[in-house]
């Protein structure tokens, strides 16, 4: 029996986007709990980070995106069940639509090509990153003074983690051991962090610059937690602060799934 090809990262972004839209539609007109607001904000942040990664690392051809995004998007979409509550069990309407998109993400996460996804990333780990590899350079490609003050300590931690990963690449095992899985995960998460930093403009005024700053801080904090590092603040508070931005995002037109390969880069307008 032939195995159906795994959906490309841009298609997964569309499913995660539509899952968030469905969840927010299901609770429209209600006052979500603090944890529900945080779940919506977290799903939006992971969409934003995924968008930045696709832009920076080769789109659907990105080995890092194919390896990392299935897990990141599945995790945050699963957490939206906190926002939906009993609505997630409805057989019709937004709750049913949410479950369908969540199911698609689960299928992608556990697709039989998971070993091929790992191999594509570990091929980058055969020796320290060099040349065009983003982790061959420090994470902060903009002047530190232009970055939010709250990020300085976290950026120091992320940069130390990058150096540790660069050093570990020289000793990476050749087989698919737990060690190489863990190293590939750290490498992929740091590549996503670099994409978030590289895409941050740090310009503008008023609410726009405040939102841009808060989004960067919260997205990098979520990546730090996944790396086992200390975040800028509690993830629940940082993510909940982006709830209104998640709602505003979902008021913009959605991109049909069939156009995902060409248009997913427009999913998160920032």
Angle CA 246–104–45, to nearest 5:
25
Residue 141 pLDDT exceeds 70: no
pLDDT band, very low/low/confident/very high, at 87 (cuts 50, 70, 90): confident
pLDDT band, very low/low/confident/very high, at 65 (cuts 50, 70, 90): very high
Residue 260 pLDDT exceeds 50: no
pTM across the whole model: 0.89
Instruction: Average the pLDDT over 120-142 and give the result.
Output: 87
Inter-residue contact 178 to 185 (CB < 8 Å): no
Looking at mean pLDDT, say which of 63-77, 190-204, 251-265 comes out highest: 63-77
Inter-residue contact 9 to 66 (CB < 8 Å): yes
Angle CA 39–42–46, to nearest 5:
140
pLDDT band, very low/low/confident/very high, at 116 (cuts 50, 70, 90): confident
Quick one: pLDDT at residue 154? Answer: 92
User: Which whole-number Å values give the CA distances from 162 to 53, 126, 233, in the listed order?
Assistant: 17, 16, 21
Quick one: pLDDT at residue 140? Answer: 82
Quick one: pLDDT at residue 2? Answer: 55
Instruction: Tell me the C-alpha distance between 99 and 22, whole Å.
Output: 9
Residue 108 pLDDT exceeds 80: yes
Burial group, residue 151, by CB count within 10 angstroms (0-12, 13-18, 19+) = buried
Instruction: Tell me the C-alpha distance between 7 and 11, whole Å.
Output: 6
Instruction: Tell me the C-alpha distance between 96 and 212, whole Å.
Output: 32
CA dihedral 25, 108, 263, 42 (to 10 degrees): 50
Quick one: pLDDT at residue 265? Answer: 46
User: Which whole-number Å values give the CA distances from 160 to 108, 139, 182, in the listed order?
Assistant: 32, 10, 17
Inter-residue contact 189 to 226 (CB < 8 Å): yes
Inter-residue contact 233 to 221 (CB < 8 Å): yes
Residue 223 pLDDT exceeds 60: yes
Inter-residue contact 6 to 111 (CB < 8 Å): yes
pLDDT band, very low/low/confident/very high, at 165 (cuts 50, 70, 90): very high
- Closest C-alpha to 39, from 60, 19, 57, 15: 19
Please provide the average confidence, as pLDDT, over all residues in the chain.
86
pLDDT band, very low/low/confident/very high, at 197 (cuts 50, 70, 90): very high
Instruction: Tell me the C-alpha distance between 237 and 250, whole Å.
Output: 21
């Amino acid at each position: 029996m032939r195995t159906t090809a795994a959906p490309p990262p841009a298609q997964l972004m569309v499913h995660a986007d539509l899952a968030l839209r469905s969840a927010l539609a299901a609770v429209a007109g209600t006052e979500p709990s603090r944890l529900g607001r945080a779940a919506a904000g977290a799903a939006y942040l992971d969409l934003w980070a995924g968008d930045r990664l696709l832009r920076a690392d080769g789109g659907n051809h990105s080995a890092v995106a194919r390896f990392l995004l299935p897990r990141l998007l599945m995790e945050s979409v699963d957490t939206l069940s906190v926002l939906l509550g009993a609505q997630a069990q409805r057989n019709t309407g937004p709750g049913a639509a949410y479950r369908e998109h969540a199911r698609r993400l689960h299928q992608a996460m556990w697709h039989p090509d998971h070993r091929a996804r790992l191999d594509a990333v570990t091929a980058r780990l055969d020796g320290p990153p060099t040349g065009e590899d983003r982790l061959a350079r420090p994470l902060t490609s903009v002047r530190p003074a232009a970055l939010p003050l709250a990020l300085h300590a976290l950026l120091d931690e992320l940069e130390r983690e990058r150096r540790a990963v660069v050093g570990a690449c020289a000793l990476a095992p050749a087989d698919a051991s737990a060690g190489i899985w863990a190293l590939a995960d750290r490498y992929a998460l740091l590549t996503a962090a670099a994409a978030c930093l590289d895409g941050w403009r740090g310009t503008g005024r008023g609410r726009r610059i405040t939102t841009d700053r808060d989004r960067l801080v919260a997205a990098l904090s979520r990546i730090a937690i996944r790396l086992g590092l200390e975040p800028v603040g509690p993830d629940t508070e940082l993510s909940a602060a982006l709830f209104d931005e998640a709602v505003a995002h979902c008021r913009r037109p959605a991109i049909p799934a069939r156009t995902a390969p060409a248009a997913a880069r427009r999913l998160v307008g920032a």
